Chains A and B, each alone.
Chain A
Amino acid sequence: MSIRAKIIALLTTIFLVALGFIFSLNVMKFDTMLHDLAKDRAGIVLGEVGQSLRLAIELGLSLETLESGRALREHAKTKDPAILDLILFGADGRVVDSASASMLDTPIPPSWFASHQHSQGEQWTVVEEERLMTGVPFDTRLGIRAGGVVLVRSLEEEHQRVSDAFVELAIAGAVVLGLMFVLALPGCLFLSRRLRHFLSALERRIADEKVSEGDEAILSAGLARLVDTFSRRARQLDTAISDADAEIQGKRLDRV
């Protein structure tokens, strides 16, 4: 590979790494923003739903006796269609109400329960695969944890948007990289021109060949003198070997 090709390959790799990093930063930022927006939106809906549930619990109703779960779920879904379920669970973490019948009377997953336990009365969130879980605990007036509610929201739409943006930005990145390459190409050729002439002059001078005037000028007097001395010494040695050879041949003939 020629030096020009090496430099161009190198620059392209560096551009690729730098753009790749900037690309990743942008996509990660977008992903974080979408997740944050989904969390905020779920949090707002959960705040409203939780308010009515909290009131009922403070009035002494137990979550197990609540019958408005379905209505609350439907109400929440009108405000955010990505909401998949609204799950009510008791103090022991067992589900008392859910759109999914299979979940009823089963314990909520340990990761949810751990977040619920450590939440200190605030909203908590857990992200698992394509789903965002936002929960809030309920305490009775006596400060006893009565249970909680979890809003399960799909993140499919957010993920789809991120992956669409990823593709669009990747195409844009490829175009930008291509443009950078096109601009770098003549730049590299121009910048490496002096080096090419220098190396060509050096090569020709070492090989004792004729050097063009343009190339000749590029070698400093010091380096030119060094190479000339080298060549002269090499010629002298070559001659010395030839002469010695001739002398040996001559003496051999004399002997004959």
Chain B
Amino acid sequence: MPTPKFKGNALTAFDPTAATPAKGGELEARRIVSRLVLRIATLAVALMLLGATALSYVAVRIFDRDLDTLLAAKAAALGWVLSEDFGRAAALGFPLDRLPDVPRFLEEARSGHAEILYLALLDPAGVPIHATGGIAPDDLSIMTEAIRGASADSPIESMRLESERLNMVLQSVVRDGKSVAAVAVGVDQQYAQRQFEEMVFDVLTVLMVSLFISFEILLAILGRSMITPLRHLVTLLERGSHGRFVTRLEHRSADSVGSVIDAYNKVVDMLHRRYAGLSAKAAAAGHAMASVLDIGHRAGLHADGRPRTLPATSALDVRLPLFLFVFAEELQKPFLPLYVRDLAVGETWLSPEILIGLPISVYMLVLAIATPFAGSLADRFGIKRIFLAGLLPAIVGFIGAAAAQDVVSLLIARSTTALGYAAVTIAAQGYIAGVTTSGERATGMAGYVGTIMIASICGMAVGGIVAGELGYRIVFFLAAILAALAGIAGMQMLAAFRAHDGDTGVRRTSTLAALGIVLSNRLFLALVVFVAIPGKIALTGFLFYSVPLYLAALGTGEAEIGRLMILYALLVIFAGPVLSRLADRAGHTMLFTFAGTLLSGLAIALLDGWQGALAMVVAVGLLGIAHAASISPQLALATEVCRKEVAELGQTTILGLLRMLERIGSVGGPLLVGALVAWRGFEAAMLLTGLGIAVAAVAFLLINVAARRRG
């Protein structure tokens, strides 16, 4: 390093406070990396769309070839059965052209075979006597010509004809060895293609999930190798520009980010080394030690020549492990009630409707009880250990759920997974709190919520598809594998440290005492009882419990159920920020909370008078909008009505208590709705649940209006 001539007193001229801090460096580094992530994600999506289209096209071409043969064989079997039946009638002397119920008979024969577009009984001249389904005149004339061309003495045996629209199979109806009529079966030429077209939503879902996954992985990998080290580097450069060279950055990488950090570390190492030499000389000389120490003190240099090391950790570290774990856990959402229903066959110790809701309720209960314990374990044993240890019961629970033979064993398995979920999520939150400064914590926690929501969407979408194709048990095995991958990612990406209390300066109070304080606030109590708990009842009792059962009863597949459930999550993610900004701007958090709760109740009650899949789509969509409108304002309102308690206990404690209390609704939701369904049937249960929530919303409004009038 060039050393310009220093003028003046060396021991006093170095003044770190004189430096001018340069702002915005971190922002710039982050902007460049974020732009890169976005562009790469766009490139990935474009290429994935191309690839998916190409592969699907090739698949249809390959499968179509085999399906043609097999569909023709099936059509031949059907033609044979029908010709045998008509042959028996003809043998008994019944005139085939005067049998009045033949069209109905043909229609019945065609039902259940979606690929058969045309079924007919033709006379020896090839003219239809009875027919069902439609046929183009050109196709009919092909069959007519074939029948005319055949001699009565040599009956047609599974003759295959082809047109652009139909694959046709002809089979003679034989009496006394002679052909007296013919059965024609027309198979849709495009059937295979149509079947694969039905998969287009599955493919799009896969692409959407792939996009989210690629975004998460890109953020995790680039975050770890670029965003986090560059962010720390810019902070250290800023400290250096203030004259503080205390810390070197720990980052082992052979890439260009590693080179940049090496360049920085070299400067810091060199200064520390030089200062160590100076200190040694000063000590040996026996004078000027105080002045040398002053330089070291001002610049943060150590006499041992070893700078402090800053590990490159950030909230992004926990993103991928958390994403994989939540993804695994959410896979079961579109079908869990259906799985319980299958396992509950023959179980009589509880009403089936309540029994089906029990695993969701027990899971929520165990989660609520285990969460505080998991928090204290993380304080004691370290966050990384608790994150990894939490995966063990979760994996055991997933495997147990896959192997469950009855509802009780499923309950045990789900409770075990809930223990793991509590540990993993608390550890993830603790990690974010541990690696962020107080100013960054809100952003870190927003990232946590975002990761959970995206993982939830991906999990539900993939879970529905896999369950529909491979069955429920396989999904739980897949969940166990994903949770194990979360463990590998966690081992690689998480730094080991213990949780610390971020709520500094605030009185430490036991949960019970804090509960006593906040529940004495009537407006907070009203918020819990009339908004938060009903909100969770709507979520677990309606969305998680009723939606899969209702749609399955309509014949909807698990993949569609999953897609409908992600509609809710998408609305909360995308409409949530817009609506909460609107609520903040208008300053009507209470009104938004009320309106959201009221709308969620009405959305559910809607299903009393309107039935069918479309009604369910509308109800779920309205619930998504309702929760998007009320969740964030609800949090803002909680801190608003608890100003005194926030000052006393801290905002985190108040919101934590709100989250804890609302779990009463999560636990009770499926049981309550299940009991109502058992008592009055599905429609009445929806009406009662919806009206209950709507009435709670009105009660909440009245209490708040009265409180405001009182001032």
Q: Give the B-binding residues of A (Cβ under 8 A).
A: 1-3, 6-7, 10-11, 13-15, 17-19, 21-23, 25-26, 28-30, 32-34, 37-38, 40-41, 44-45, 47-48, 79-80, 161, 165, 168-169, 172-173, 176-177, 179-180, 183-184, 187-188, 191-192, 194-196, 198-200, 202-204, 206-208, 219-220, 222-223, 225-227, 229-231, 233-249, 251-252
Contacts and interface: CB of A to CB of B under 8 A. Distances in A.
Contacts of A192: 36
| Chain B interface mostly | helix
Given A29-B199, A37-B74, A184 B59 contact: no
Report the contact-size class of chain B (Cβ under 8 Å from the partner): 35 or more
Nearest to B265: A206
A234 B255 CA distance: 25
Contact of A206 (B40, B203, B243, B263): B263
A195 B10 CA distance: 40
B476 to A, nearest CB: 18
CB-based closest 7 A-B pairs: A243-B10, A226-B22, A229-B241, A18-B210, A222-B24, A240-B14, A239-B6
Given A11-B44, A208-B1, A226-B22, A48 B84 contact: yes
B74 A41 contact: yes
Contact of A6 (B62, B221, B241): B221
Given A14-B217, A244-B295, A80 B77 contact: yes
A169 B59 contact: yes
Nearest to A246: B10
Nearest to A39: B74
B496 interface: no
Interface in B276-292: 277-278, 281-282, 285, 287-288, 291-292
A17 B44 contact: no
A33 B67 CA distance: 8
Contacts of A47: 81
Contact of A15 (B23, B48, B192, B266): B48
Contact of B240 (A48, A187, A230, A239): A230
Given A192-B36, A226-B237, A203 B260 contact: yes
Contact of A21 (B40, B206, B234, B254): B206
B224 to A, nearest CB: 10
Contacts of B4: 235, 239
**Residue of A195, A203, A233 contacting most chain B CB atoms (<10 Å):** A233
Interface of B: 1-6, 10-11, 13-14, 16, 19-25, 28-29, 32-33, 36, 39-40, 43-44, 47-48, 50-52, 54-56, 58-59, 62-63, 66-67, 70-71, 73-74, 76-78, 80-81, 84, 112-113, 192, 195-196, 199, 202-203, 206-207, 209-210, 213-214, 217-218, 221-222, 225-226, 234, 237-238, 240-243, 245, 254-257, 259-260, 263-264, 266-267, 270-271, 274-275, 277-278, 281-282, 285, 287-288, 291-292, 295, 299, 301, 462, 465, 469-470
26 contacts: A7-B222, A14-B44, A14-B213, A14-B217, A18-B210, A19-B52, A19-B55, A23-B59, A25-B206, A26-B56, A29-B469, A37-B70, A37-B71, A80-B73, A176-B58, A188-B43, A195-B36, A203-B256, A220-B28, A222-B25, A236-B243, A240-B295, A241-B278, A244-B288, A245-B281, A251-B288
Given A6-B225, A28-B469, A172-B55, A18 B33 contact: no
Contact of B24 (A30, A179, A220, A239): A220
B344 to A, nearest CB: 16
Nearest to A184: B47
A177 B58 CA distance: 13
B15 to A, nearest CB: 9
A184 B209 CA distance: 20
A240 B66 contact: no
Contacts of B50: 180, 183
Contacts, number: 308
A48 B469 contact: no
Contact of B210 (A10, A17, A237): A17
Contacts of B206: 18, 21-22, 25
A223 B243 contact: no
Q: Which of B2, B56, B195, B240 has the most CB of A within 10 A?
A: B240
Given A41-B73, A244-B288, 11 more contacts: A3-B225, A15-B44, A18-B214, A21-B462, A44-B78, A172-B55, A176-B58, A184-B44, A208-B1, A227-B22, A237-B301
B28 A222 contact: yes
B524 to A, nearest CB: 45
Contacts of B203: 22, 25
Contacts of B112: 40
B3 A227 contact: no
B77 A44 contact: yes
Contact of B195 (A3, A29, A187): A29
A30 B192 CA distance: 9
A43 to B, nearest CB: 9
A211 B462 CA distance: 49
A247 B292 CA distance: 11
Contacts of B20: 225, 229
B255 A2 contact: yes
A194 B40 CA distance: 13
A161 B44 contact: no
Contact of A234 (B22, B66, B240): B240
Contacts of B295: 237, 240-241, 244
A33 B114 CA distance: 12
Given A1-B254, A203-B263, A234-B271, A191 B73 contact: no
A230 to B, nearest CB: 4
Contacts of A28: 469-470
A30 B63 contact: yes
Contacts of B282: 244, 248
Contacts of B74: 37, 40-41, 44
A74 B514 CA distance: 81
A37 B77 CA distance: 11
Contacts of A237: 14, 243, 245, 271, 295, 299, 301
A16 to B, nearest CB: 10
Contacts of A7: 40, 218, 222
A222 B55 CA distance: 48
Given A15-B48, A225-B22, A247 B59 contact: no
Contacts of A21: 206, 209-210, 462
A44 B214 CA distance: 47
A177 B54 CA distance: 10
A233 B243 contact: yes
A15 B19 contact: no
Nearest to A38: B70
B40 A188 contact: yes
Contacts of B81: 44-45, 47-48
Nearest to A31: B469
Contact of A3 (B54, B58, B257): B257
A240 B13 contact: yes
Nearest to A200: B256
A231 B32 CA distance: 23
Contacts of A26: 55-56, 59, 63, 196, 199
Of the listed residues A14, A15, A37, the one surrounded by the most CB atoms of chain B closer than 10 A to its CB is A14
A222 B58 contact: no
Which of A79, A179, A208, A241 has the most chain B CB within a 10 Å cutoff?
A241
Nearest to A201: B260
A177 B47 CA distance: 10
A248 B288 contact: yes
